Amino acid sequence: MTSEISKLPPLREVIARHGLNAKKSLGQNFLLDLNLLDRIARVPGPLDGAAVYEVGPGPGGLTRALLKAGARVTAVERDDRAMPALAELGEAAPGRLRVVAEDAMAIDEAALIGEPAHIASNLPYNIGTALLVRWLTLEKWPPWWLSLTLMFQKEVAQRIVAQPGTDAYGRLAVLAQWRSKPRIALDLPPQAFTPPPKVSSAVVHIVPAEPLRDIPASALGAVTAAAFGQRRKMLRASLKSLPGALDALAACEIDGERRAETLSVAEFVDLAAAWTAAKR
């Protein structure tokens, strides 16, 4: 089966034949280097026989690499122009590629996949962060996904792995680090893509971990949204918009004159726990 995939024409030829010029409105930038795509497909670890969920496959570059690695892929794509190219890819890997023509923001992925799966995607830039936040704030933990291997603008990737006290540290870092372990697996220059974006990209790998503390994900989401929504303000000012948050701040003995970027992930988790208790 892998040999059939290897016989497929170059991605540039596929894109030209099907008129798949990248659409800015869909946040598309296609990665065509097969060696780089194979490297990304290796990031989650062995995929032979594993279920993989992919968002926005476009002409199927990463899909091709995932199938070569032996994965069973469910791909969600809203661009109808990509369907013929993906159908050809499915023919080269019989029974291992399911393409769903839906909006990834509106789909119930767990129900669609029906089993634990790795998520691997060159995410469309315009929905990448929103999807990541959704996957990180699922109330059920461990989640239905086994790992996340996701491509972002490098600036976003750095925000995911950032440490307290740095300019990049914010809500994404807290949500990513309180019960999972993120790392930057690969850096990719603009010229690796068609069309080349104006910024560099990076592949982030995230695996679930034991939570620092068992709290509702929605509580941590609310507290971090308020705290970092006005990150230049002191916490006593930025948290005013969240009823009960100032009482939680006092209960945790956190100085209200501190700013959000100075709090550790553990302090945010404690603050969310205290805020949850204060609401009862």
Instruction: Provide the annotated binding site for S-adenosyl-L-methionine.
Output: 29, 31, 56, 77, 103, 122
DSSP annotation of 127 reads: T
CA dist 177 to 161, 184, 235, 245, 267, Å? Answer: 8, 13, 21, 21, 12
Going by the annotation, the residues of the binding site are: 29, 31, 56, 77, 103, 122
* Phi-psi region at 235: left, alpha or beta (left = phi > 0; alpha = psi -120 to 50): alpha
Contact (Cβ atoms closer than 8 angstroms) between residue 188 and residue 201: yes
Contact (Cβ atoms closer than 8 angstroms) between residue 131 and residue 54: no
User: How many other CB atoms sit within 10 Å of the CB of residue 37?
Assistant: 22
Exposure string of 232-244, with b = 16+ CB inside 10 Å and e = fewer, is eeebbebbeebeb
Element (H, E) at 206: strand 201-208
- Helix axis angle for 154-161 and 128-136, nearest 10°, is 20
> Could you report how far apart the first and last alpha carbons of the chain are, in Å?
57
Sequence-distant (≥ 6) Cβ neighbours of residue 134 within 8 angstroms: none
DSSP annotation of 234 reads: B
